[in-house]
Structure 1
Amino acid sequence: MTSTPAKSPSAAVSGLLAFVLVVGGGSGLLHEWLGWIHFMGFVRLLVPDGYETYGYVVMVAAGLAVGAVGDSLARRARS
C-alpha cells in the first residue's frame, strides 16, 4: 500500500479557488443563458453589471488557469 504525499498548502488553495471559479462561472453562464438558479450566487458580486456573460467566461478561464498552476505546483512538490 502506497501513501500519497500531502499537497502543499498553495496547491490546495489553488485547487479550491479553481473549483470555485469554474463552478461559479459555469453556474453564472447557465443562469444567464437558461435562467436556471445560481448554484453559487455569491460570484455575481465579482462580475460588473451589464457584462455578466463576459465576466463568467473570464471566471471559467481564470479557474482553468489557476487549476493548471496548482497542478504544476503539486507536481513540482512531488518531484
Structure 2
Amino acid sequence: MKSVLGFLSFVLIAGGISGLLHEWFGTGFRLFGFLRFLSPDGYAIYTNIVLTALGVGLAAANASLKRGRSS
C-alpha cells in the first residue's frame, strides 16, 4: 500500500504542477495530459492546486505510514 500511495502522490503532484505551469505560461508543460479532463471549464488552475495539495497530503500519509512501522 505504501508504494501505491507513493506512486499516486507523485502522479498528483507532478500532474498538478505541470498543469499549473501550462496554465500560467501556456507552453507545452502538459506532462500528464489526462488530468485536464478532471477540471471543469474555467477552473483548471483551481483543480491543479487541489490536485497538488492532495498529492502532498498523500505523500505525508505515506511518510507517516513508513514512520509508524519503523518505530
Q: Count the aligned residue pairs.
A: 70
Query: Does structure 1 residue 64 correspond to structure 2 residue 56?
Result: yes
Q: Which runs of 5+ in 2 are unaligned?
A: none
Residue 19 of structure 1 deviates from its aligned partner by: 0.3
Q: Percent identity?
A: 47
Q: Which runs of 5+ in 1 are unaligned?
A: 1-9
The structure whose residues are more often helix, as a share, is: 2
Residue 74 of structure 1 deviates from its aligned partner by: 1.2
Aligned AA (1:45)? F
Q: What's the C-alpha RMSD, in Å, of the aligned pairs?
A: 0.9
Shift >4 Å, 4+ stretches: none
Which deviates further from its counterpart, 46-55 or 20-29? 46-55
> For the residues of structure 2 that align with 1:12 and 1:74, how far apart are their CA atoms?
10
Residue 48 of structure 1 deviates from its aligned partner by: 1.6
What's the TM-score, normalizing by structure 1?
A: 0.83
The residue number in structure 2 matching 1:42 is: 34
> For the residues of structure 1 that align with 2:66 and 2:36, how far apart are their CA atoms?
30
Aligned AA (2:27)? W
Larger Rg over CA atoms = 1
